[in-house]
Amino acid sequence: MKPSPSFPFTTLSIVCPIRDEADVLPAFFARLLPTLYATGETFEVLCINDGSQDATLSVLQGIQQQEARLHLIDFSRPFGKEAALTCGIDHAKGDAVILIDADLQDPPELIVEMVQTWRQGFDTVLAQRVDRSTDNWFKRVTARGFYRIHNAVSDCVIPIDVGDFRLMDRRVVDALKELTERHRFMKGLFAWVGFKHVLLPYVREARHAGRTKFPWWRLWNFALEGITSFSTVPLRIWTYLGLIIALCAFAFGSFIIGRTLILGIDIPGYASLITIVLMLGGIQLIGLGVLGEYLGRVHDEVKKRPLYVIREHHPKHAT
Ligand code: UDP
Ligand code: MG
């Protein structure tokens, strides 16, 4: 077996999830590769092509001709960013793994500082956005609200304004690989494994080219994934809500019986009756919906399907 260019000692594994980023990739590698050379470390770059429809694959193959330390893993169809990250983590051989977006919103130059910080003995180095002005108002407000709610209802705390851009020591990566669940909210999984972390501030740049792959509906589903994967509070709420409603119904029932006994039978009451029936019907449907969210996830977990399917892996001996 011919050893891979980075075999057997690789210090840094860079994992880039990529979907339809052909316009950005030349500029991305023009900044990433000199940075990696500057670190003086041995490295490999794992590019996970998440079912791109544009010229991403051929652009990556072109760059691979120039830089043999670039590994290309091509998915059979789009499986999503979380699956792409998982695939990169599964295949990384380095002592430290760095996750970075390919759209240049995560400045590659920060990697030098990340590596220096890791060398000081930190297990995880997290890049923290100090300026989100490139995100629109809606995304800023909803992101903040989501992390507040998530951290309030789940056991593990996700640091504010920290995305996937991070360096993880091999110890952290090995712990992450033990988490085999299908529904992968990576930021939650990262927080769940714990370890000693440090925050490195950076300014989030605007997307170099192309469009975000996370429109608001996908973000909403992503948020639901985050909460349901790490908290059962939404399920338990219904016990308490049911209890409160039952107590109110008992009080109201007693009031009506008492009033009928004292004042006699009262015919009017249609408005209050229909309001209560509709309200209870609505509440029950919401409760069923929440149950459904969890049941659907249990259904997906028991099927134990693989998280991704690889169409091709270059170089092949790297698998
Ligand atoms: N991405 C991916 N699969 C997806 C969505 C995104 O591989 O289904 C990649 C994308 O190519 C980029 C990174 O994940 O490198 C971040 O995506 P994006 O910039 O669209 O997210 P945003 O920065 O808007 O949150
Ligand atoms: Mg982006």
Which tokens belong to 172? 């952290």
Domain 12-213+306-314 has CATH 3.90.550.10: yes
- The DSSP line for 127-158 is EEEEE-TTS-HHHHHHHHHHHHHHHHHSSSPP
- Is the minimum distance from the CB of 150 to ligand 1 under 6 angstroms? no
Mean pLDDT of 300-305: 81
Task: Kindly tell me if the per-residue pLDDT of 317 is higher than 60.
Answer: no
Residue 313: predicted pLDDT = 86
Cα(104) to ligand 1 centroid in Å equals 11
Query: Domain limits of the chain?
Result: 12-213+306-314, 233-303
Cα(101) to ligand 2 centroid in Å equals 7
- Percent of the chain's residues with pLDDT above 90: 34
Nearest residue CA, atom 3 of ligand 1? 81
Give the number of other Cβ atoms within 10 Å of residue 308's Cβ: 21
Which residues is 168 bridged to in the sheet?
97, 124
Task: Kindly tell me if the per-residue pLDDT of 92 is higher than 90.
Answer: yes
Ligand 1 atom with the smallest distance to the CA of 48 is 7
Ligand 1 atom with the smallest distance to the CA of 50 is 7
Residue 6: predicted pLDDT = 45
- Percent of the chain's residues with pLDDT above 70: 95
Task: Kindly tell me if the per-residue pLDDT of 207 is higher than 80.
Answer: no
Q: Taking the model in full, what pTM does it have?
A: 0.74
- Is the minimum distance from the CB of 164 to ligand 1 under 6 angstroms? no
Task: Kindly tell me if the per-residue pLDDT of 169 is higher than 60.
Answer: yes
CA distances from 33 to 14, 38, 48, 203 (A): 11, 9, 17, 20
Task: Kindly tell me if the per-residue pLDDT of 34 is higher than 60.
Answer: yes
Mean pLDDT of 26-38: 93
What amino acid occupies position 227?
Answer: I
Residue 5: predicted pLDDT = 47
Q: Are 6 and 91 in contact (CB under 8 A)?
A: no
d(CA 297, CA 228): 9
Which ligand is the nearest neighbour of the Cα of 81? 1
pLDDT grade for 266, boundaries at 50, 70 and 90: low
Least confident of 2-16, 58-72, 240-254, 255-269: 2-16
pLDDT grade for 239, boundaries at 50, 70 and 90: confident
pLDDT grade for 91, boundaries at 50, 70 and 90: very high
- Please report which helix (H) or strand (E) contains residue 115, including its range: helix 110-119
Mean pLDDT of 194-216: 81
Residue 96: predicted pLDDT = 94
Residue 316: predicted pLDDT = 64
Which residues is 44 bridged to in the sheet?
13
Mean pLDDT of 144-159: 84
Residue 8: predicted pLDDT = 60
Residue 117: predicted pLDDT = 93
pLDDT grade for 100, boundaries at 50, 70 and 90: very high
Burial (0-12, 13-18, 19+ Cβ within 10 Å), 149: middle
- Is the minimum distance from the CB of 17 to ligand 1 under 6 angstroms? yes
What amino acid occupies position 65?
Answer: Q
d(CA 150, CA 153): 5
Mean pLDDT of 55-84: 92
**Best mutation site among 46, 213, 216 for ligand 1 pocket (most ligand atoms within 8 Å of CB):** 213
Residue 4: predicted pLDDT = 45
Bridge-based pairing of strands 43-49 and 310-314 is unpaired
Residue 145: predicted pLDDT = 85
Residue 210: predicted pLDDT = 73
Cβ neighbours of residue 43 closer than 8 Å, sequence gap 6 or more: 6, 10, 11, 12, 13, 14, 36, 69, 94
Q: Which residue has the higher pLDDT, 225 or 81?
A: 81
CA nearest neighbour of 52 among 44, 41, 40, 60: 60
Mean pLDDT of 271-296: 80
Positive or negative CA dihedral for 152, 158, 161, 163? Answer: negative
d(CA 73, CA 49): 6
Ligand 1 atom with the smallest distance to the CA of 16 is 15
Ligand 1 atom with the smallest distance to the CA of 19 is 11
Query: How many residues comprise the chain?
Result: 319
What amino acid occupies position 254?
Answer: S
CA distances from 242 to 157, 158, 239, 274, 287 (A): 29, 31, 5, 19, 10
Residue 2: predicted pLDDT = 38
pLDDT digits (tens, 9 = 90+) for 125-142: 999 988 777 777 877 888
Calculate the average pLDDT of the chain. Answer: 85
Burial (0-12, 13-18, 19+ Cβ within 10 Å), 199: middle
- Is 159 in a helix, a strand, or coil? coil
